Amino acid sequence: MLGLLGLAPGIRSFSAPAVTGPAAVPKKRALRFAHLTDIHLEPELHAAEGLAACLHHLQGQADQPSFIMNGGDCVFDSLQQTKDRVELQWDLWQGVWQKENSLPIEYCIGNHDCWGMGQKSDPLYGKKFALDKMRLAAPYRSFDKGGWHFIVLDSIQPKSDGNWYTTRLDDEQYSWLEQDLARTPANTPVIVVSHVPILSAAVVAITKSQGEQGYAIGGGSMHSDAAKIIALFNRHGNVKVCLSGHIHLYEQIQYDGVTYISNGAVSGNWWKGIHHETANGYAMVNLYDDGSFDNEYIPYGWQGKG
């Protein structure tokens, strides 16, 4: 059943169902990491101070994460900005992280990370600008940590006319995802990270009803190919949880045995306060050796000074 479990500014946590019964074995934590998404860094609105406050808050946790998973939309906007402005934002990004962070970081690309205003003949046009800054060879990939298999997807594709953007997997990436899941041992738990939610109930909660016509959810709010991806997950019972951002709302839902989590935004309402019911925050995620997990969304006390 699809249900909206959380849209609130306070600290919220979620744990996967525990294994019970006489044969249950105590689970052991395999990995702890922080999930930060939708930072939207810019020189204005004291955004750099806000990011620094977030990094100090998470690194001040008594129970430290081993790395940071970035969920995309690192800079405020590359889609509608000049090359000089995009470079300025990325320089600011690198400066804050070098000064304020001591943890390793893994990247997922977001829509605002794509450069869409330049000439298409420019080698940095589209995703290449961000991939170079993130030091990634490709916008999607997989890796293993702590006995879990991580799949990092690229939710952002150009439209059929070449303009930006649609929220889906292209055919090549979907084929790669099929093969990657097929190669992963059935007893290895899988976590999927995407910028745009594959499945979301929160987007309905903030969408204005069209009366008798029901809800018209914006095409950029969640994956337009959600049904296709969910059907693929259904063929692999080891897909446990999907993490995303993009909508700046905190929610956790379960559907067909998979938990879908959107972990709010570091920038909240784009550095202008709380976005709907979700405060500026990040998440701490624990993964366990039995395939269970828990996710805690943590506001870090910053609502902006802009």
At a CB cut-off of 8 Å and minimum separation 6, what does 294 contact? 13, 14, 15, 16, 285, 286
Q: In whole angstroms, how far apart are CA 159 and each of 75, 80, 156, 195?
A: 22, 16, 10, 17
Q: What is the domain partition of the chain in residue ranges?
A: 30-299
End-to-end CA distance of the chain: 41
Q: Are 243 and 191 in contact (CB under 8 A)?
A: yes
- Residue 6 burial (CB count, 10 A): 19
Look up the pTM and report it. 0.91
With vertex at residue 32, the alpha carbon angle to CA 96 and CA 92, rounded to the nearest 5 degrees, is: 10
Type of residue numbered 294? D
Type of residue numbered 287? L
Looking at the domain that runs over 30-299, which CATH code has it been given?
3.60.21.10
C-alpha span between 207 and 163 (Å, rounded)? 25
Block residue for tokens 């922080």: 34
C-alpha span between 138 and 174 (Å, rounded)? 14
Per-residue pLDDT 10s for the chain (306 aa) are 334 444 444 445 555 555 555 566 789 999 999 999 999 999 999 999 999 999 999 999 999 999 999 999 999 999 999 999 999 999 999 999 999 999 999 999 999 999 998 778 899 999 999 999 999 999 999 999 999 999 999 999 999 988 899 999 999 999 999 999 999 999 999 999 999 999 999 998 888 777 777 877 776 899 999 999 999 999 999 999 999 999 999 999 999 999 999 999 999 999 999 999 899 999 999 999 999 999 999 999 987 665
